[in-house]
Amino acid sequence: MSVTIANLGFPRIGPNRELKFALESFWGGRSSEAELKETAASLRRETWLKQKNLGIDYIPSNDFSFYDHVLDTTVMLGAVPERYGFKGGKVDLATYFAMARGTTSAENSVTAMEMTKWFDTNYHYMVPELVKGQKFSLASTKALDLYNEAKAAGVETRPVVLGPVTWLSLAKGRDVDPFDYLDDVLAIYTEVLTSLAKAGAKWVQIDEPAFVLDLNDKQRAAFKKAYDVLSKTGVSLMLTTYFGRVAENIDLLTSLPVAGIHVDLIRGSDDYDALLTKVRPDTVLSLGVIDGRNIWRADLDALVDWIEPLAEKRDLVLAPSCSLLHVPVDLKAEKKIDPEITQWLAFAQQKLEELAVLKTALTKGRNEVAEELAASTKAAKNRRSSPRIHNEAVAKRLAAVTPDMAKRQSPYPVRAAAQQAKLNLPLYPTTTIGSFPQTSEVRQARAKNRRGELDNAGYTQFLREQTAATICWQEEIGLDVLVHGEFERNDMVQYFGEQLDGFAFTNNGWVQSYGSRCVRPPILFGDVTRPKAMTVDWWSFSQQQSEKPVKGMLTGPVTILNWSFVRNDQPRSVSCRQLALAIRDEVVDLEAAGAKIIQIDEAALREGLPLRRAEWQTYLDWAVESFRLTASGVRDDTQIHSHMCYSEFNDILPSIAAMDADALSIETARSQMELLQAFASYQYPNQIGPGVYDIHSPRIPSVEEMVNLLRLARKYLPADRLWVNPDCGLKTRRWEEVKPSLLAMVAAAKEMRAEE
């Protein structure tokens, strides 16, 4: 029986974010379209040749994208919303980028398409928009072009296309059900697949991660129809699912007339037994055995033990669980991670190397790769027992957590009275969400400090001046509750990760977040402890500048967890509780230093929701418990705020309420306070700060429009439970925009007070 190896997709950004810089230079008018295309082509070529040299049997093409693979699919289908003025034919690069980013030129300004998270990853895709009478046409031949390009470079590839059912499932229809267009969409897919077959492609990887979702009847029927049609196009389809269990969808999946099926055996390992009995013997089975979502090195010897018996029975393809888009490119670029930790890690390049070792071990025998297997075993062993990871004291502390520790001393009404007695705030108290503009001056000072051109004392002095000036200005314009501005923070997760034990940081571990934007997620590798207070000095300095209360500002445990690469050797819930205890200590320290209000941001709580509904409650329970554990070490008269930056709460309101934050700020400016209706009908009991100023736009809102929003809010909630604040993200705006906007916001609050 044969064992071959496949890759499902390689990071597009390049080993040193070459694509990011090429894109930004092109957008900034500093380079030509030809130069951008040249950079892209050479990155693709390098990537293909690298995979060929590694001995990958199925090398992907069309995994490259200038911005986003969902947008590429939308363009392939010619489903270009009317506002971009597409006239048929091929979509050009200008139109493509207009869809991705909008355009702002005076005579021609259009908004970008909506962007949202790709399944439960931190990658964002552009949401397809479909309208009544939507037209489709083959408007991009990128899949074919890149297949041919690879071939010309001497590399036979397996093109990747996003499947029609997943694309339709991600699309938003305006007064129309996207699935009404299944036939139109299939007609284009047929053209694309036929053209690939004609060009000589044997296999096409067709990605249908929708298989790991709860499917409705329409989706199920669409799967049947789609693959009946597409299996007749002359290519062999590797129907590819990832990001979770197929579970009850397995009968549907295995009934489709496709030549191969790929499943994610990292997150979907529970599917394994059912798969073996249900996948037809003549279907090629591709097993995602290397974790494409996380940065841990595999235990290869153990994998061989496990795969060997199966490989004797049937042909197998071995692959990463999903595209490697979600991990950094190459561990070799890392200079500052401790060697003990480095040996536990594998980035995209290393994951492909692991596959190559697996193949050799399974086809030629373990002896051929004895050294590689031994190194892998040694690393796995070391990781299981390393004192850098396992800390007795943390385990003990976790075991000693009592339910009372996750409960404030008194119920909200008692706390609210105690807090008001101490804070004496007016009705409609005004505040902001935490950050103030990260000007180029601030970013430059940070970069200089990092490069050693500005010493720590000089940098601290600079930050103090920025902070003091910001506090002074807030006081001047009459804000009631001040913030220090977060100038000292590079990122709301990294800042804390760097001060906690148990985290490692990369210098080049970039992962695409959206378009040209990349993030470098911290690596949570070990038990978490807080060696010392993290924010108390900055808070104390800030509070010394003003009589008004300055909020202590923290990132919550769930958000730190969701925005990091996390341990796979213990449940996420355990890592989260460890983080909760560490941040709890910080909350208590801030209170002891005199902070009357402490905000614990949980920006990413909602996006951590599992893909399957049935798993939501378990997640929400431990996530909420972690937040409460963080927040409940303080006295009744200390006010706990939280902030969440999204606007879909309806289905998780009971959990939001269960967090029991004294005040919660949310994004609402763009949705005309609609969201508050849900809070009101749920009878959400605590205070809310609905954003009244949409910071996503450079526009300066008027007093009047903010008063109108507040009046709307007042319809839903009593005045003594409303705060007045902008949406989050002031750090992305300029002072010229922020200053007049907040002045107007304070004026709006005053008008509202006069109305009570």
Quick one: 155 or 728, whose CB is closer to Zn ion?
728
Q: Can you say whether the dihedral through the CA atoms of 24, 25, 28, 33 is positive or negative?
A: negative
**One-letter amino acid for residue 638 of the chain:** T
Burial pattern 316-353, b for ≥16 Cβ within 10 A else e, equals bbbbbbbbbbbbbbbbebbeebeeebebbbbbbbbbbe
Stretch of residues binding Zn ion (CB under 5 A), selected from 307-315, 526-534, 638-646, 690-698: 638-646
Q: How many CB atoms lie within 10 A of CB 80?
A: 25
Stretch of residues binding ligand GLN (CB under 6 A), selected from 243-251, 296-304, 430-438, 440-448: 430-438
Distance CA 629, CA 639 (A): 15
The footprint of Zn ion on residues 641-680 (CB under 5 A) is 645
**One-letter amino acid for residue 213 of the chain:** L
Cβ neighbours of residue 66 closer than 8 Å, sequence gap 6 or more: 19, 23, 36, 40, 72, 93, 96, 97
**Minimum CB distance to ligand GLN, residue 486 (Å):** 6
From the list Zn ion, ligand GLN, none, pick the one residue 740 interacts with, judged by a Cβ distance below 5 to 8 Å according to partner type. none
Distance CA 143, CA 146 (A): 6
From the list Zn ion, ligand GLN, none, pick the one residue 380 interacts with, judged by a Cβ distance below 5 to 8 Å according to partner type. none
**Minimum CB distance to Zn ion, residue 743 (Å):** 22
The pair of structure tokens assigned to 118 is: 């790709």
Burial pattern 545-557, b for ≥16 Cβ within 10 A else e, equals beebbbbbbbbbb
**φ and ψ of 531, to 5 deg:** -60, -40
Q: Is 124 a catalytic residue?
A: no
**Minimum CB distance to ligand GLN, residue 746 (Å):** 18
Q: Rule CB under 6 A: choose which of 728, 744, 745, 748 binds ligand GLN.
A: 728
Residue 506 CA to its chain's centroid (Å): 18
Distance CA 39, CA 32 (A): 11
The footprint of ligand GLN on residues 518-557 (CB under 6 A) is 553
Quick one: 18 or 120, whose CB is closer to ligand GLN?
120
Answer for the pair 43, 18: CB distance below 8 angstroms, yes or no. yes
Quick one: 397 or 696, whose CB is closer to Zn ion?
696
Name the residue number minimizing CB distance to Zn ion. Answer: 645
The footprint of ligand GLN on residues 597-626 (CB under 6 A) is 601, 603
**Minimum CB distance to ligand GLN, residue 522 (Å):** 16
Quick one: 481 or 645, whose CB is closer to Zn ion?
645
Looking from the CA of 20 toward its CB, the CA atoms found within 13 Å total: 15
**End-to-end Cα, the chain, rounded Å:** 79
The footprint of ligand GLN on residues 486-505 (CB under 6 A) is 492
H or E element, residue 173: strand 172-173
Quick one: 73 or 435, whose CB is closer to ligand GLN?
435
* Residues that contact ligand GLN, how many (by CB under 6 A): 12
Answer for the pair 18, 40: CB distance below 8 angstroms, yes or no. no
Quick one: 297 or 643, whose CB is closer to ligand GLN?
643
Q: Rule CB under 5 A: choose which of 182, 235, 659, 728 binds Zn ion.
A: 728
**Minimum CB distance to Zn ion, residue 100 (Å):** 23
**Minimum CB distance to ligand GLN, residue 611 (Å):** 22
Q: Is 298 helix (H, G, I), strand (E, B) or coil?
A: coil
Q: Is 318 helix (H, G, I), strand (E, B) or coil?
A: strand
Which DSSP letter does residue 649 get? Answer: -
**Minimum CB distance to ligand GLN, residue 642 (Å):** 10
Quick one: 235 or 603, whose CB is closer to Zn ion?
603
Answer for the pair 65, 323: CB distance below 8 angstroms, yes or no. no
The footprint of ligand GLN on residues 101-160 (CB under 6 A) is none
Answer for the pair 274, 250: CB distance below 8 angstroms, yes or no. yes
From the list Zn ion, ligand GLN, none, pick the one residue 362 interacts with, judged by a Cβ distance below 5 to 8 Å according to partner type. none
Stretch of residues binding ligand GLN (CB under 6 A), selected from 52-60, 91-99, 630-638, 726-734: 726-734
Q: Rule CB under 6 A: choose which of 4, 7, 205, 435 binds ligand GLN.
A: 435
Indicate whether 337 belongs to the interface with Zn ion (CB under 5 A).
Answer: no
Q: Rule CB under 5 A: choose which of 290, 362, 579, 603 binds Zn ion.
A: 603
Answer for the pair 340, 386: CB distance below 8 angstroms, yes or no. yes
Residue 466 CA to its chain's centroid (Å): 30
Quick one: 208 or 602, whose CB is closer to Zn ion?
602
Binding mask 554-593 for Zn ion (x = CB under 5 A): ----------------------------------------
Which DSSP letter does residue 387 get? Answer: T
Quick one: 334 or 602, whose CB is closer to ligand GLN?
602
For residue 263, CA distances in Å to 34, 241, 252, 354 come to 39, 5, 14, 18
H or E element, residue 384: helix 370-385
Distance CA 196, CA 752 (A): 64
From the list ligand GLN, Zn ion, none, pick the one residue 57 interacts with, judged by a Cβ distance below 5 to 8 Å according to partner type. none
Distance CA 299, CA 671 (A): 48
Indicate whether 467 belongs to the interface with ligand GLN (CB under 6 A).
Answer: no
Pick the catalytic residue from 69, 390, 484, 696. Answer: 696
Q: How many CB atoms lie within 10 A of CB 614?
A: 9
Q: Rule CB under 6 A: choose which of 138, 300, 433, 752 binds ligand GLN.
A: 433
**Minimum CB distance to ligand GLN, residue 420 (Å):** 24
Indicate whether 600 belongs to the interface with Zn ion (CB under 5 A).
Answer: no
Distance CA 368, CA 345 (A): 23
Quick one: 391 or 671, whose CB is closer to Zn ion?
671
**Minimum CB distance to ligand GLN, residue 70 (Å):** 23
Query: Which residues sit at the interface with Zn ion, rule CB under 5 A?
Result: 603, 645, 728
Query: Which residues sit at the interface with ligand GLN, rule CB under 6 A?
Result: 433-435, 492, 553, 601, 603, 643, 645, 728-729, 731
Annotated active-site positions, please? 696
